[in-house]
């Protein structure tokens, strides 16, 4: 029997779902995006990207125009496709565990739809879920509401994604691997065939695994990357105490060892974003529930949390006291080229500065609206970097935006009351900032 693999539906049009939907459609695969948010659905149907991501907007416009991508809030449309991806959110709960209610609802609603269909339908879990979720919760809800059996009429795979914000479309088109977790060959074969159609001769290595192993790959990947950052931040903090040392040189040298690798060795104010903290917490919680305390990952998180305090300590050391001092925070986004401030180090730094009585004025080219939603009028906002610097006692560089990188020492001197600079992103050359009160993470004091 020939299995058709040329139409897919994607439930949940957040970051992952939206980028996945657009890239599938861009490869000629008929795609239906499904989301409960009507406004979002309408926007997508007009060909407008509901989130900021390079390349997404034109890709989406083209796909909608060519009728390869449609969006709806009616999950019954999933029945018109061969394969449904679940890409709904799995937010953190207070204890660090993930909230499975969206995935439960999606599985239940999809199961109800599949009750009425004939033929085989493959369900693929793309959401980040702890090991056992696909084969446990998702399978149970699907079977209960469809009245069908997973493994015969319904196929089921876990298939995590590894997209980075800002390069998500590129990452989706050029992944380094595809991980397919399934207990039955038919499901794995159908998904492999779909990806073969998507990537053609450029199909990356496909790792076939159990659903639980596939789920753990995603957590292991993010835990490793986060730990690599906390590792280099630890070395940076040691370097900073050591005259004549710049952690950049150390990172470059160790990165040349292929066992270490050069990427994710940029020291800074600590990682942010929607994944690392959430996934580390979920992994720690999962592990603890199973009776193992993963001390390494606790240390990764603690190191990250404390890095923000170090940044504020650096400012305090320059100024003596922060009380009543005007501090310009340049950059709010958790990394450049995004308006996302989720778990951003800038927010941790701002909270610390506020506790110490500083008057904070912040500038970011994109992330001010999101920051206002989170911390409202706790701080002042500036329209550009120069206005933020005006009359400031100290400037802290929190995001590595290209135009902030281009600011010259003389601009800091001209605008600020006193040119105290804490370079938490290490964007400036310490030599050219020599005659300012300049300190950077991971740069040791000058030798006397």
272 binds ligand UDX (CB under 6 A): yes
330 binds ligand UDX (CB under 6 A): no
Nearer to ligand UDX, 41 or 265 (CB): 265
Q: How many residues bind ligand UDX (CB under 6 A)?
A: 18
Nearer to ligand UDX, 20 or 81 (CB): 20
CB of 34 to ligand UDX, least distance (A): 22
- Considering only the stretches 21-29, 47-55, 157-165, 436-444, report the one whose residues sit in contact with ligand UDX under the rule CB under 6 A: 157-165
Q: At a CB cut-off of 8 Å and minimum separation 6, what does 448 contact?
A: 243
268 binds ligand UDX (CB under 6 A): yes
CB of 121 to ligand UDX, least distance (A): 27
- C-alpha–C-alpha distance, residues 61 and 373, integer Å: 29
Q: What are the distances in angstroms from CA 82 to CA 8, 107, 118, 391?
A: 6, 16, 11, 62
- The correct pick among 163, 319, 328, 392 for binding ligand UDX (CB under 6 A) is 163
- The correct pick among 10, 22, 113, 225 for binding ligand UDX (CB under 6 A) is 225
- The correct pick among 126, 277, 335, 426 for binding ligand UDX (CB under 6 A) is 335
- C-alpha–C-alpha distance, residues 285 and 292, integer Å: 10
CB of 340 to ligand UDX, least distance (A): 8
| Residues 218/128, Cβ–Cβ less than 8 Å | yes
Of 244, 246, 249, 250, which Cα lies nearest the Cα of 446? 244
426 binds ligand UDX (CB under 6 A): no
| Residues 261/251, Cβ–Cβ less than 8 Å | no
271 binds ligand UDX (CB under 6 A): yes
442 binds ligand UDX (CB under 6 A): no
405 binds ligand UDX (CB under 6 A): no
Q: Residue 157 catalytic?
A: no
- The correct pick among 21, 113, 265, 416 for binding ligand UDX (CB under 6 A) is 265
CB of 264 to ligand UDX, least distance (A): 4
Binding site for ligand UDX (CB under 6 A): 162-165, 222, 225, 229, 264-266, 268, 271-273, 275-276, 334-335
Active centre residues (catalytic): 275
């Amino acid at each position: 029997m020939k299995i058709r693999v040329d139409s897919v539906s994607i439930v949940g049009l957040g970051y992952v779902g939206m980028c996945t939907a657009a890239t599938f459609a861009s490869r000629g695969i008929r795609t239906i995006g499904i989301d409960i948010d009507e406004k979002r659905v309408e926007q997508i149907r007009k060909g407008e990207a509901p989130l900021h991501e390079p390349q997404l907007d034109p890709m989406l416009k083209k796909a909608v125009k060519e009728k390869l991508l449609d969006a709806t809030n009616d999950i019954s449309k999933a029945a018109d496709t061969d394969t449904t991806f679940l890409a709904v959110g799995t937010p953190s709960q207070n204890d660090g565990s993930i909230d499975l209610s969206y995935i439960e609802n999606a599985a239940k609603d999809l199961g109800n739809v599949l009750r009425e269909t004939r033929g085989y339908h493959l369900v693929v879990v793309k959401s980040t879920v702890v090991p056992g979720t696909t084969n446990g919760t998702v399978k149970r809800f699907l079977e209960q509401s469809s009245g069908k059996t997973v493994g015969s009429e319904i196929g089921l795979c876990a298939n995590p994604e590894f997209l980075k914000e800002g390069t998500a479309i590129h990452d989706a088109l050029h992944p380094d691997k595809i991980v397919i977790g399934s207990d039955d060959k038919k499901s794995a074969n159908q998904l492999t065939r779909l990806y073969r159609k998507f990537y053609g001769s450029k199909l990356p290595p496909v790792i076939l695994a159990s659903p639980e192993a596939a789920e753990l790959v995603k957590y292991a990947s993010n835990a490793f990357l986060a730990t690599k950052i906390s590792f280099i931040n630890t070395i940076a903090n040691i370097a900073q105490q050591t005259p004549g040392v710049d952690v950049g040189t150390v990172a470059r040298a160790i990165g040349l060892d292929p066992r270490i690798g050069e990427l994710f060795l940029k020291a800074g104010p600590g990682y942010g974003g929607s994944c690392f903290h959430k996934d580390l917490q979920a992994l720690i919680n999962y592990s603890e529930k199973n009776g193992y305390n993963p001390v390494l990952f606790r240390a990764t998180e603690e190191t990250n949390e404390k890095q923000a305090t170090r940044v504020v300590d650096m400012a305090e050391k320059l100024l003596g006291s922060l009380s009543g001092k005007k501090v310009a925070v340049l950059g709010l986004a958790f990394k450049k080229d995004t308006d996302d401030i989720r778990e951003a180090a800038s927010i941790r730094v701002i909270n610390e500065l506020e506790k110490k009585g500083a008057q904070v004025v912040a500038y970011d080219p994109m992330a001010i609206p999101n920051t206002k939603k989170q911390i409202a009028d706790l701080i002042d906002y500036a329209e550009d970097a120069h206005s933020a610097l005006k009359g400031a006692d100290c400037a802290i560089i929190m995001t590595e935006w290209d135009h902030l990188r281009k600011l010259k020492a003389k601009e800091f001197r001209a605008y600020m009351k006193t040119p105290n600079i804490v370079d938490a992103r290490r964007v400036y050359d310490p030599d050219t900032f020599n005659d300012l009160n300049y300190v950077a993470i991971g740069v040791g004091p000058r030798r006397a």
